[in-house]
């Protein structure tokens, strides 16, 4: 039986306060950076238009002033993770998701697109990656840093940065732009050296929500909310159907902070198309020409979901999604996440989930994906990890409720039956 869960957050963020990145940039970009920062400030002042809840923003920063410093301060960060019961973390850029005050330089972070200046993008990425490697070095067992790698414009430079980042200690993998325009889509062979390098170096490739088709939305934030996840899921099926996971069987690909709810239907529709069930009968041999297995088999072997604040609705579908594919995360220090109330969120979501499955989704899946040294983290987990009792999992009510999972467990992925 589990004593304390080893919890790994597959979705954390770190970034310096914007101006502090200056010293991490190669010197030839520092003046451009000063101009960029000033312009950015001016745009932020012009923005407004009801896009941000100013009252919420003010309260969030006031109530969490100390904790938010964990976005860049290593000691403070460990303290916050400890309090949340999180032993290990996978670290993406952009610590401030409210007022964008701690973002990788030149737009190189979560919202990176192919429209940005390639030279500045790479400079911003490298500045962040250098700093992140230092942050991770302060607690190497606990932190898997994800390097920002602009892969679109110059594949050779991308491979060089992947290699450099890995050597610098960033073992969380790489973050690529969710959207490729105006460059060729990710099924294109031009990106093969990236996939090959990541497979060889055991660097999982990530997309993370943020980018979207913004110029189509006008002022309508709701449209952004409705489709932002989709734009970061999209590379998954581009790679999958192009046979990328067949060609690079050791490549790992993770979709982070897009939720997990959509994955079951994606696997269902993909598998029945692969099997040429009814509606797909008319499609020719090209459909499956690059695949030796069903899409769900590649998903299980090559992919993962950084599911962040995993919801009941998603846990109910976990046998279809694959328990081993779901990696919970607290999204520290973003307000969308569970920090600083992770223990309560976990109790609400996981109270009747079997302990072995809880252990898998809260840490086991991420440990395997990112190569965390579970033995090295055990002492941290034994100190701070939540217990099954704390999650309410050993009450008579919870034990009785577990019965409800027998049928879905037996059904598995029913379309494969």
| Kind and range of the H or E run holding 298 | helix 295-302
The CB-of-50 to a copy of itself minimum distance in angstroms stands at: 3
DSSP per position, 68-83: HGGGT-HHHHHHHHHH
Binding site residues, a copy of itself, CB under 8 A? 49-54, 56-57, 60, 97-98, 185, 187-188, 216-223, 225-227, 230, 234, 237-238, 240-242, 259, 261-262, 265-266, 268-270, 273-274, 278-291, 295, 309, 313, 335-336
Strand-pairing partners, residue 173, are 146
> Closest CB to a copy of itself among 69 and 413?
413
Closest alpha carbon to 93 in 107, 83, 82:
107
Instruction: Report the nearest approach of a copy of itself to the CB of residue 291 (Å).
Output: 8
- Comparing CB distances to a copy of itself, the nearer of 161 and 320 is 320
Please tell me the distance from the alpha carbon of residue 289 to that of residue 295, in angstroms, as a whole number.
12
Burial 351-365, CB ≥16 within 10 A → b, else e: bbbbbebbbbbbbbb
Q: Is 252 helix (H, G, I), strand (E, B) or coil?
A: coil
How many other CB atoms are found less than 10 A from the CB of residue 16?
A: 25
- Our CB check for a copy of itself shows the closer of 79 and 229 to be 229
- For the CB of residue 321, give the shortest distance to a copy of itself in the complex, in Å: 13
Report in angstroms how near the CB of residue 237 gets to a copy of itself at its nearest. 4
Beta bridge partners of 207: 255
We find the least distance from the C-beta atom of residue 390 to a copy of itself, in angstroms, to be 21
Q: Is residue 123 a contact partner of residue 109, using CB atoms and an 8 Å limit? A: no
Complete edge-to-edge strand list for the sheet that includes strand 253-256? 8-13, 88-92, 143-148, 173-175, 205-208, 253-256, 303-308, 326-328
Closer CB to a copy of itself, 134 or 265, in the complex: 265
Our CB check for a copy of itself shows the closer of 262 and 405 to be 262
In terms of Cα–Cα distance, which of 265, 223, 377, 304 is closest to 11?
304
Closest distance to a copy of itself from the beta carbon of 411 (Å): 11
Which CB, 132 or 179, lies closer to a copy of itself? Answer: 179
């Amino acid at each position: 039986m589990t004593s304390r869960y080893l919890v790994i957050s597959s979705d954390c963020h770190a970034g310096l306060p914007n101006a502090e990145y200056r010293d991490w940039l190669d010197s030839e970009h520092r003046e451009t950076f000063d101009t960029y920062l000033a312009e950015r400030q001016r745009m932020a002042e012009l923005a407004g238009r009801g896009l941000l809840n100013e009252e919420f923003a003010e309260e969030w920063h006031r109530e969490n002033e100390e904790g938010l410093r964990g976005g860049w301060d290593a000691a403070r960060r460990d303290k916050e993770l400890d309090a949340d019961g999180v032993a290990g973390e996978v670290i993406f850029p952009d610590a401030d998701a409210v007022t964008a005050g701690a973002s990788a330089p030149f737009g190189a972070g979560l919202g990176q697109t192919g429209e940005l200046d390639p030279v500045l993008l790479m400079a911003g990425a490298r500045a962040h990656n250098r700093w992140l490697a230092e942050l991770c070095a302060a607690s190497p067992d606990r932190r898997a840093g994800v390097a920002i790698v602009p892969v679109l414009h110059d594949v050779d430079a991308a491979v060089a940065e992947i290699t450099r980042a890995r050597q610098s200690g960033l073992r969380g993998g790489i973050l690529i732009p969710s959207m490729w325009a105006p460059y060729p889509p990710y099924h294109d062979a031009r990106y093969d050296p990236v996939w090959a390098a990541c497979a060889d170096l055991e660097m999982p490739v990530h997309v993370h929500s943020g980018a979207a088709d913004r110029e189509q939305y006008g002022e309508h934030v709701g449209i952004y909310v409705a489709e932002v996840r989709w734009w970061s899921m999209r590379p998954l099926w581009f790679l999958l159907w192009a046979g990328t996971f067949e060609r690079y069987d050791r490549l790992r690909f993770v979709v982070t902070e897009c939720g997990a709810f959509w994955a079951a239907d994606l696997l269902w529709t993909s598998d029945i198309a692969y099997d040429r069930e009814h509606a797909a009968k008319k499609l020719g041999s090209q459909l499956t020409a690059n695949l030796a297995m069903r899409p769900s088999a590649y998903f299980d072997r090559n992919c993962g979901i950084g599911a962040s604040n995993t919801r009941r609705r998603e846990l109910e579908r976990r046998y279809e999604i694959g328990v081993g594919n779901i990696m919970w995360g607290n999204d520290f220090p973003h307000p969308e996440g569970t920090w600083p109330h992770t223990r309560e969120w976990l109790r609400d979501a996981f109270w009747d989930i079997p302990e072995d499955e809880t252990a898998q989704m809260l840490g086991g899946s991420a440990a395997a994906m990112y190569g965390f040294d579970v033995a090295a983290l055990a002492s941290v987990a034994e100190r701070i990890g939540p217990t099954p009792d704390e999650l309410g999992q050993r009450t008579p009510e919870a034990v009785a409720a577990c019965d409800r999972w027998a049928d879905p467990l037996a059904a598995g992925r029913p379309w494969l039956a």
